[in-house]
A and B are shown apart, each in its own frame.
Chain A
């Protein structure tokens, strides 16, 4: 029987609505090797893990492992079970995720794991950058974890995921567009520096407020304290904790970061990620689009 690992009791985390969803680099350093813990790295750059990772950490590849190889969708229950089993992750494992770029992709991986309801998921605050900045150990050694038998759990897309027809029905209710300012206004058809990942039309979903995702992160890649997050999302964007909110970006990765902030750090119960995002909306026929700076 596995004992649940203790939560990180750092004062900053205690302010968050769900402090059990986040741990510090210090906590990870102290608990590395504990039975029941698996640390997984998920990066945008698919080679970063190979250049060095937290000792004992496994790699979780967003591109090749979390997506269905043919249909634009995530793996199904059987695929997720196979993936977790191969990584040596059990249903009762405490799975701590971390990665590059302010945990952008790690938050995405955490969101996908949440669709399968993995019970104990946590994000390492500050991600890979903070671990390295603190001169903590890295290794290129790939751990060989014994294979587990992860149950087949059907993916539940109802609570945390939104599809295009649901977004259309949601128009008029709170939406947060987390892309860059240029993408939001429609000036850019792609992310700055990612010109190939575009859409046919530029702009945003009518009514969506613009809050670029990285505003939730401090200089050292950690999440901002709760009061600062509230000032951004409640003060500036006007959200209320009981709102039914949909967040989106380009393919749903950057908005996973904002989903984590709203749902777990600020504790909003109804937050869905629209992973079709702008690569679906901006390419769809006859869906409404707003250009310019106003929602």
Chain B
């Protein structure tokens, strides 16, 4: 099976996951959940600007903003009691925030299957991350008109 080509930043994250096994992989996911930055005030105060992602097991909200030079900023909100969902958001933030719109649109949907998490997290949860990516891409396309 040929893995789809990933942006170097995402590839680095995938490599980091593959460099460790089992419990250490979960620990890495936990670190991503802890590194997810808090919402900026404009979203925290007006939460309905964020789009809900019902495919996730726990409440998850996100927004993608395309800046005039096509740089994309990503914002996520997930409760602390949902570390797995936060971890997925953390991976997408670390891997995609600040890339340009085309780079994100070129991210293969099957990327979520390339982190080696299938044996640790049920496939249904991983689909939640794929759904986040799908919604990010849709928001980007909408903003580009």
Contact = CB atoms under 8 A, between A and B. Distances in A.
Nearest to B83: A47
B119 interface: yes
- Give the size range of A's interface with the partner: 10 to 19
B83 A45 contact: yes
Contacts of B27: 50
Nearest to A129: B81
B57 A194 contact: yes
B55 A195 contact: yes
B84 A47 contact: yes
A196 B55 contact: yes
A197 interface: yes
Given A193-B57, A195-B55, A196-B55, A45 B124 contact: no
Interface in B80-136: 80-85, 87, 119-122, 124-125, 127-128
A227 interface: no
B83 A48 contact: yes
A194 B26 CA distance: 22
Contacts of B83: 45, 47-48, 50-51
Nearest to B33: A47
Contacts, number: 48
A50 B121 CA distance: 14
A100 B81 contact: yes
B30 interface: yes
A244 interface: no
B84 A45 contact: yes
A44 interface: yes
B38 interface: no
Contacts of B120: 46, 63-64
The 3 A-B residue pairs whose C-beta atoms are closest, nearest first, are A47-B83, A47-B84, A50-B30
21 contacts: A44-B57, A45-B57, A45-B81, A45-B83, A45-B85, A46-B26, A47-B29, A47-B30, A47-B83, A47-B87, A48-B83, A50-B83, A63-B120, A63-B121, A63-B122, A69-B119, A100-B81, A193-B54, A194-B124, A195-B54, A197-B124
